[in-house]
Every structure is written in C-alpha cells, then in structure tokens.
Chain A
Amino acid sequence: VSGSGFDVLLAGAGLDPADRQALAALEEMLTLVPDEAPRPSAELQAVLDGGPSMPRRPGHPLRTGVVAGLLGLTATVGIGAAAAAADDLPPGVQRAVSVWSHRHLPFAFPMPDRSPHAASVPRRPAPSATTLPAPHLPPPSAVTTRRHSDVAATPAARPAESSPAAPGASPSGHHHAGGSSPTPSATGSPSHPAGDHAQEPGSAGHGGSAAGAKGQHPTGRPVQVPSAQSKRQDTEHRADKHGNSSGHRRMTQSRRDRSPGGP
C-alpha cells in the first residue's frame, strides 16, 4: 500500500486522508513487512525447484466423461448379462437376448420360461451321470417322505436306535442294543441282501439303503452304488470296528466247531 493507497484507505473509512496520526499508524504497520522474501523451508524450496510435488492439472472434462461413460457401459452390460443368464429379464427382452446370443455368441442365454420356444432350447445339462433318470424319480412328495425316513433310520444319524419295527437297521445297531440277539449275516440284513439294492436302483424306501441305492443321498447329492462285494467288505469293516463283531463271533464259533470236545 503506497501513500495514495493510504489516502484511499482512509477516505474509504470516513477519515481525513491527510490525518497525520492515522497516516503514521499505517506507515508504521508497513515495518512488519520485510524487504526481502523469507528463506523458504527445504520442502518448499524443493517444490519451487520443480520437485515431485508440483501441482498436477486436473483431467480434461472430455476425457473424464469418456472414462465415466465406458465404466457405466461396462457395468450395464455386466448387470444385463447376469440378469439374462438368470432368466430375470422380461420375456420379450430375454427372448431377444437369447436369440441374439444363439446367433452371435459362443454361448447362449436361456429362452424365457413362458416362451413357446422354451422346450426347444436346452436348459442346463445334468450335472453328472449318477443322477437318477427322470422316469425313475418318484413324485416329490414321496421323495420327501422317504428322505425323512432314511435319515431317521440311517445308522450314522441314530447309531444307538434300533428297534425291530425299523426295517433295515444296521447290524451294529443290534449289537449295541441287545448283544444277545441273533447275529445277522455279515453280508447285511437278511431281509435286504445287497443284491436287492443293485437290482432296484430307485427303491430307496427300504431302510438303511440310503447309501446303497443308486440315487440321491438325502442331502440331495448323487451317490454311487457299491457292489455286493464292496458292501460286504464295508459291513465287515464296520463290524470289526465295534470289537464285539459278528466276524469275531463267527471265528469263535468255527474254532469251537473244529475243537475235539465240540461246543
């Protein structure tokens, strides 16, 4: 602020520009301003020398808009593809997307369920060959009932529970419950030979056959049908695991038979 600046300042404040006391106060205020610039700090000096903290100009608006548009387009296409794959689009749009994907893409989106072309478009293929074929599947209500009974009679689910009314209870269950009951054969329950399960892939209704039939596990996973020999080995293995097994009894019985004194 020069002398003329002081005049304007004082005049603007409603004071006399020629007021000596006021001008003296303003003149002395300027003594706070040094003649030379203060020495900058090391950080500021590095910036003034063109260091790495130089100001960066913001991105051009057009470039920013193009990038934002591409991001929006990518998001829209991704969400639309996910919706089309889930058959969530409106039927008309879903049909158009499906037809277009059949023609131009290496994969195809499904046709809408309500479309008359729905039967002609293959749906998702079966996950594996162990799944039951459609004609052998029981009605849904039967499957539900059977699964419940299977779970109730499965040895793993209720190992100590075995009653004579429960068909197909495991042999080990008999041992735990009674101990003096007649020992079943090592090949499994007498009323359910292993061959029966192989013969009737869909007959999962027999107790204890949840893992023995070719079908679905109560949890819904497809299971593999063991052969008669492997089932026998499995039964013996389980019996050996419990110590007081039928195999051990059978061996004891054969020794007695061989002994000279007899039983």
Chain B
Amino acid sequence: VELSDEIAAAARSGDPDALTTVYRLMSPRVLGYLRARGVEDPEGLTSEVFLGVIPRLHELRGGADGLSTLVFSIAHARSVDEVRRRARRPRESAFDAAADPRLVPSAESRVVSHDAARRTLDRLARLSEEQRVVVALRVLGDLSVEQTAEIVGKSVGAVKQLQRRGLLALRSMVESGEVSL
C-alpha cells in the first residue's frame, strides 16, 4: 500500500484507520530522517512528530505530497529544536564505562547495527548541516526539490546546489574509503 491522495483525505477527516495507515507508511522514513539528523531518541521523537501532525491535518492541502511535506516539516522542526536544545544544555552525567561509545557501541549504534547504516551515519556526520538536511530529505524522505526547498526555507536553486555538493562529498568518501568502522 502506498500513500495516496485518498488516504491523505481520509486522514484529514480524522479517520482512525487512515491515520494508522499514514503512520505505518510514513513513520519508517521519518525515523530514518531523524536518525540521519543524529537526534538522541529518534523513535520517541517519531511519535512526537505524528502527535504534532494529527492536530494540523485540517490544514492539509495537496493530497499525499502535501501530507509528506507537512510530516517532514514537523520532523525537521523537531529535530532542529532537539539539536539546539542539546547545544544549549548539554546533558551532564557521571562517567559510565558501559555507556562510553569508545568502548562499547552506543544505544543508537546498537539499534542501527548494520554496518552500512553505521557507515552512512559516519559519512553524513562529515557533511555540513545544510547538506545533511537536504540529502536526507531528498533520499530518506523521498521529497522533491520543491518540497525540500519549502521545508528548509530556501530557494530551489539553493537546494539543488546543496544537494549536488552533498552527493559529491558522499561519493568522494565512498571512493576514498574514508569511513571508519
């Protein structure tokens, strides 16, 4: 089942089945985007994103594409808030050797246990913030250049430029094998 305009319209009217379908179809991509952004609790934030989406469904315009734009707009905003919050108030805790990512894999690393996923996170961490957002929205969110431009608040040309530079950087990383496992 793919996200269609009919499902989006039913979700807009508050149909619980349609809402469940929307969550089932879109939450994996939202979770992947939040993982790519490096948030602390991507699964919990995914639920918060949909809790923020549902009250705003009456604003929905544009069918399935509009719903994707709305969902990832909220996901992007929440991730930006989370990153800013972490930068403003870094969490302080006593040293725990069992939680040291230099000694053992972090919780996120255990969730994303696949080597390819870990390599991807490492590569994305080397991109600039804007390149990372644009590439993640284009690849993981499956959004168009126009939708991405609307979400990040930039022009289509700027998004294309960021996408190009980001993809070139990823390609060069793969080519040179600069990824540490």
Does A49 lie at the interface of the complex (its beta carbon under 8 Å from any beta carbon of B)?
yes
Name the residue of chain B whose CB is nearest to the CB of A58.
B58
A49 and B163 contact, CB distance less than 8 A: no
A81 near B: Cβ within 8 Å? no
Mark each residue of chain A from 24 to 39: 1 if its CB lies under 8 Å from any CB of chain B, else 0.
Answer: 1111111111111111
Q: Are A55 and B54 in contact, with the CB atoms below 8 A? A: yes
Would you give the shortest CB distance from B11 to chain A, in whole angstroms? 9
- From B40-48, B71-79, B83-91, B94-102, the one touching the partner chain is B40-48
B57 to chain A, nearest CB (A): 5
Q: Which residues does chain A contribute within 8 Å of B120, judged by CB atoms? A: 25, 28-29, 31-32
Expressed in whole angstroms, the Cα–Cα distance for A56 and B57 within the complex equals: 9
Q: Does A14 contact B (CB under 8 A)?
A: yes
Residue from A22, A29, A38 whose CB has the most chain B CB atoms within 10 Å: A29
Q: Closest A residue to B124 by CB, please name it.
A: A29
Task: Pick the contact of A43: B46, B47, B170, B172 (CB < 8 A).
Answer: B47
**What A residues does B43 contact at CB under 8 A?**
38-39
Instruction: Tell me whether B158 is interfacial, beta carbon within 8 Å.
Output: no
* 1/0 contact string of A11-27 vs chain B (CB within 8 Å): 01111000101101111
Chain B nearest CB from A15 CB (Å) reads: 6
Known: A10-B167, A32-B35, A57-B14. A37 touches B174 (CB 8 A): no
Residues of A within 8 A of B172 (CB): 21
- B24 near A54 with CB under 8 A, answer no
Instruction: Flag A66-96 by CB within 8 Å of B: 1 or 0 each.
Output: 0000000000000000000000000000000
Query: CA separation between A115 and B126, bound complex, in Å?
Result: 87
* Cβ–Cβ < 8 Å partners of A44 in chain B: 23, 47, 50-51
B110 within 8 A of A: no
Report Cα–Cα, A40/B116, bound state, in Å: 26
With A25-B171, A40-B50, A54-B14 given, is the CB distance from A9 to B139 under 8 Å? Answer: yes
Contact-residue size bin, chain B (C-beta under 8 Å from the other chain): 35 or more
Flag A189-229 by CB within 8 Å of B: 1 or 0 each. 00000000000000000000000000000000000000000
Beta-carbon contact of B16 and A34 below 8 Å = no
Please tell me if the beta carbons of A38 and B31 are within 8 angstroms of each other in the complex: yes
Closest to A15 in B: B167
A246 to chain B, nearest CB (A): 85
C-alpha spacing A15/B164, complex, angstroms? 8
Q: Which of A152-209 contact B (CB under 8 A)?
A: none
Q: Does A141 make an interface contact (CB < 8 A)?
A: no
The answer to the question of B9 belonging to the interface, with a C-beta cut-off of 8 Å to chain A, is: no
Count chain A residues whose beta carbon lies closer than 8 angstroms to a beta carbon of B: 41
Given contacts A37-B24, A41-B44, A57-B58, contact A32 B36 (CB under 8 A): yes
**B104-118 with Cβ < 8 A to chain A:** 112, 114, 116-117
Binary contact readout B17-55 vs A (1 if CB under 8 angstroms, 0 otherwise): 001100111011101100110000001101110110011
Q: Which residues of B contact A36 (CB under 8 A)?
A: 28
**If the complex has contacts A34-B32, A53-B55, A57-B58, are A29 and B140 also in contact, measured as CB distance less than 8 A?**
yes
Cβ-defined partner of B27 (8 Å) among A29, A38, A50, A56:
A38
Return chain A residues, CB-CB under 8 Å to B112: 31-32
CB neighbours (8 Å) of A57 from chain B are 13-14, 58
Give Cα A48 to B13, complex, Å.
Answer: 13
Known: A31-B112, A31-B117, A48-B16. 15 other contacts (CB 8 A): A12-B160, A13-B160, A13-B168, A22-B167, A33-B29, A35-B28, A38-B28, A38-B46, A40-B23, A41-B44, A48-B19, A50-B16, A54-B16, A54-B54, A57-B14
Residues of A whose CB lies within 8 Å of any CB of B are: 1, 5, 9-10, 12-15, 19, 21-22, 24-41, 43-44, 47-50, 53-58
